[in-house]
Structure 1
């Protein structure tokens, strides 16, 4: 099981990767949404905003009103960010859960 610090680091790594490719990501994700990531086996959550193709204001804690919600185990979160777990396979098999509006899911799919 990954630790809280490893999960936080994975999300920070994802945010840095998006920031490094902000121009390309902005073309694919031209919207501003709150997001939350819930880690089930550690009973922790993180939240922030997806804006301009970047994850900003990433911090500890849940945002129950987030427009985009990802729920996964700690190990699956780390594996997803590191590219060792396919998002679509994990989602269809129930290893991760993504809650978002239909239009947001279609836009997010461009990144997957």
Structure 2
């Protein structure tokens, strides 16, 4: 079973992948946003900031506890989060099949698709 620590490591891998993107592309397509990743099966929410320097200030809290309202919200299972980070699951396919729920503005979706 995937743990909270595994999910935190997966978020770190996604951050590393963002940093592997050309810096000019990151600055062009990335606008700083607050992000929350809700991991349903672990009753955990990870709050963070998406910046040109990757995912920063990652914290976790129990699902249902008060937290900041994120500009981009992602809901996913722990296993799917790890699979996304490991490139074993395509984000778009996971989103359209209902395995990943994304709550973001249309503009944010267009910018994020360039990086994901």
The alignment's TM-score, normalised by the length of structure 1, stands at 0.89
Structure 1's 59 and 44: CA in aligned 2 closer, same or farther, altered over 3 A?
same
CA RMSD of aligned residues (A): 1.7
Unmatched runs of 5 consecutive residues or more in structure 2: none
* Aligned equivalents of 1:22, 1:59: Cα separation in 2: 26
2:26 counterpart residue number: 25
8 Å CA contact 1:70–1:99 kept in 2: the answer is yes
Report the CA distance between 1:20 and its aligned residue. Answer: 4.0
Find 1:80's aligned residue among 84, 88, 96.
84
Aligned residues: 111
8 Å CA contact 1:28–1:53 kept in 2: the answer is no
8 Å CA contact 2:18–2:115 kept in 1: the answer is no
* Aligned equivalents of 1:27, 1:54: Cα separation in 2: 14
Deviating more after overlay: 46-55 vs 69-78: 46-55
* Aligned equivalents of 1:53, 1:95: Cα separation in 2: 27
Find 2:107's aligned residue among 98, 103, 107.
103
Q: Tell me the SS of whatever aligns to 2:42.
A: coil
Q: How does 1:3-82 map to 2 (within 5 A)?
A: 3-21=3-21, 23=23, 24-29=25-30, 31-52=31-52, 54-61=54-61, 63-82=67-86
* Aligned equivalents of 1:105, 1:17: Cα separation in 2: 18
**Offset from partner CA, 1:36-79 (integer Å, 9 cap, x none):** 00100010011111122521111112745100011000000000
Unmatched runs of 5 consecutive residues or more in structure 1: none
